[in-house]
Amino acid sequence: MSVYTPVTAEELEAWLTRYAVGGLVSQAPIATGIENTNYFVTTTSGRYVLTLYERLPANELPFYLNLMAHLASAGVECPAPIRDRTGTLFGTLNGKPASLVTRVDGAPVESPDAVHCAAVGAALGRLHVASATYRARLTNRRGPSWWRQAARAVRPFITSAQNELLASELKSLTGFAKVRLPRGAIHGDLFCDNVLFVGEKVSGIIDFGFAATDALAYDLAITVNDWCIDESGSGALAPGLVAALASAYDAVRPLTADERAQWSALLRAAALRFWLSRLYDLHLPRPGELVHAHDPAHFERILRHRIDDRVPLPEPSRGATGLESGA
C-alpha cells in the first residue's frame, strides 16, 4: 500500500530468481492505503502483486497466505499466493517479509449500488463458508485489547467530546469479545477498495492483512459499515443497501439468531475499531515515501449514527441456523 520500503528494479529482479515467474519487465508502486508496501509487478510470464509486510511478524504470515491459498483453491474470488522454488509462500526482501501473489483483473467501485452490495454479500458468504474448513487460528490483532491500547495513545490528540464518546463506547462494548458467535477466518477489512469488479461481478477480494480468527458476523458488520452508507455524507446506513448485502450473505451462510440479536453491537464495534485505527494512523504515523492517511472523522460520524440508528437485518432467507458457535 504506501511505500515504506523502496525496492529498486535490480533488487526485485534478484529476488524474483527465487520464483519460476520469468524475468522482470516492470514494477510500479501502489500508493493508496496505509499498512504495507505494495508493487504491481509484471514479468515475462504474468502479472503479480508484491507485498512487503511492514507490521506483520513473519511468524504470522503463514496464517494469511495459507488462508488465501485455501480460499483460492475453494473457488473464492481472491489472489493466489505464488510458492517459490522451495515451496515457500514468502521470503525476505530488503529486510522485510515479502510475498508474491497473482494480480486479479478488475477495479474497485467507488459508489456501490444494490447490485454491487448483493455481489459483495454473496462473495463474503462464500469466503466464510470456505473458511470453515481452514483450521489455522490467529487472534485478531485489532481486537478489543488493541482498542483499549489505541484509545490511551490517541486521547491526548482528540477533543473532550471525542474522549467522552470513546470512553462510553469502550465501556458499552466491555465483554464484546466474550459473546459466543460463530467464528472462523475473517477478512477483517472488506472495504470498497479491497474488492475488485469486472462489470457487476466480483472478480477479486484483496488485501488480507487484517485477516484473523473472529466472529463471522463482525466481518459482515465491517463490510456493511463501508458499503452501505447513504449519499448524505452523514455516515448513516442506507436500508436498501443493507438489505441487499445482508440478504445475499444470508442466502449463502444463514445468520444465527444470536448473530441477529448482536447486530447493533457488531456495527458499533466495527465502527469503533476503524475510528480508532484512523485516529492512531493520523496522530501517530510512520514515515513513508507515499503515505495516505484516511480521515478519522468519517468513522466518528459512522459510530455516532450506529449508536442512535437501528437499521435491522432483513428477515432470514431460510430456516438454517448457520455454523456452530465456537471459541
Task: In whole angstroms, give the CA distance from residue 118 to residue 113.
Answer: 9
Q: What is the pLDDT of residue 33?
A: 54
pLDDT tens per residue, range 284-317: 887 654 456 689 999 999 999 999 888 889 988 6
Q: Where in the chain is the domain with CATH 3.90.1200.10?
A: 114-308
pTM equals 0.91
pLDDT tens per residue, range 142-179: 999 999 999 999 999 999 999 999 999 999 998 877 88
Residue 170 to residues 112, 145, 236, 242, Cα–Cα distance (Å): 31, 10, 21, 25
Task: In whole angstroms, give the CA distance from residue 190 to residue 120.
Answer: 9
Q: What is the pLDDT of residue 309?
A: 82
Task: In whole angstroms, give the CA distance from residue 301 to residue 282.
Answer: 17
The superfamily (CATH) of domain 114-308 is Aminoglycoside phosphotransferase (APH), C-terminal lobe (3.90.1200.10)
Q: Where in the chain is the domain with CATH 3.30.200.20?
A: 9-102
The superfamily (CATH) of domain 9-102 is Phosphorylase Kinase; domain 1 (3.30.200.20)
